[in-house]
Each structure stands twice: as structure tokens, then as C-alpha cells.
Amino acid sequence: MTPTPPVSPPAPNRSAWLQVLYLALAIAGALLTWDANLDFIRQNGAAFDLGRFVEQASANPAALSLSRDLAVGATAVTIWMVTESRRLGMRGLIWVLLSCVTIAFACGAPLFLFLRERRLQELGRHPEA
């Protein structure tokens, strides 16, 4: 007969901490990205010129690398967000996808992680260790 390992005291609620962190990152992603977007608008006219934005996003090898990195990574993560949302029966995916398109992926992805963490907690599936 093997001895039963001792039961550890409950860990601090990791899910709550992660929810706060993800929500803070979503807010930071929105604010920091739109601060740069507003600078772009100030420098390039009164409206958001998407064609000029894309042109400038590929203006040099460094910008092109970051743009391609974001495009591929965001596509993969968006596919995962949709499938994970369906798998967990999450609510709010439409708001996540809209925020990715209208605000920034840097806002939408952490918003999704916040909602996912909240859903895992609701389902009792979140490891608290």
C-alpha cells in the first residue's frame, strides 16, 4: 500500500489573478494601439487612411516583419479563439472579434483570454495550482 500524498492548502485563486491581468492587458492593448493610431491620423490627415497605413506597415523590412508576424499569429490565434469559444460554450465571442477588427488584436486577444478564464472558472475546470 502506497502512502497518500499530503493535501496541500488551497492555492491563491490563480484564475482571479489571471482575469485581472488579462483585462489590464486588453485595456493596455486598446490604449497603446490607439495612441499610435491617433498619431498616424494626425500625421496623415483627418481620417484613418487604411491604404496608407498598410503602405507604411510595409515601408521597411522591420515594419514588414512585424506586420507579417502579426498577420500570421493573429490568424492562428483567431481560429483557436473561435474553436475554443465553441468548445467551452463561451459568451461574448462577437465582442472579441469586433474588438480585434475595430480596436486592435492587442485588445481582442487578451479580452478573449479574460472571458475564457472566467468561463473555465464557471465550469470548475481551472486548475488552482
Q: Lowest-confidence range among 36-40, 68-72, 122-126?
A: 122-126
Whether the pLDDT of residue 5 is over 80: the answer is no
**93 DSSP assignment:** H
Query: CA–CA separation, 47 vs 41, rounded Å?
Result: 6
Using a CB cutoff of 8 Å and minimum separation of 24, what contacts does 27-35 make? Answer: 27/107, 28/106, 29/103, 29/104, 29/105, 29/106, 29/107, 29/108, 29/109, 29/110, 30/99, 30/103, 30/104, 30/106, 30/107, 32/106, 33/103, 33/104, 33/106, 33/107, 34/103, 34/104
Q: For residues 9-37, give the mean pLDDT.
A: 88
Closest-CA residue to 53 (of 65, 68, 41, 61): 41
Q: pLDDT for 41-100, tens place per residue? A: 999 887 888 899 999 999 999 999 999 999 999 999 999 999 999 999 999 999 999 999
Query: What angle, rounded to 10 degrees, do the helices at 61-88 and 93-102 form?
Result: 170
Query: CA–CA separation, 30 vs 95, rounded Å?
Result: 14
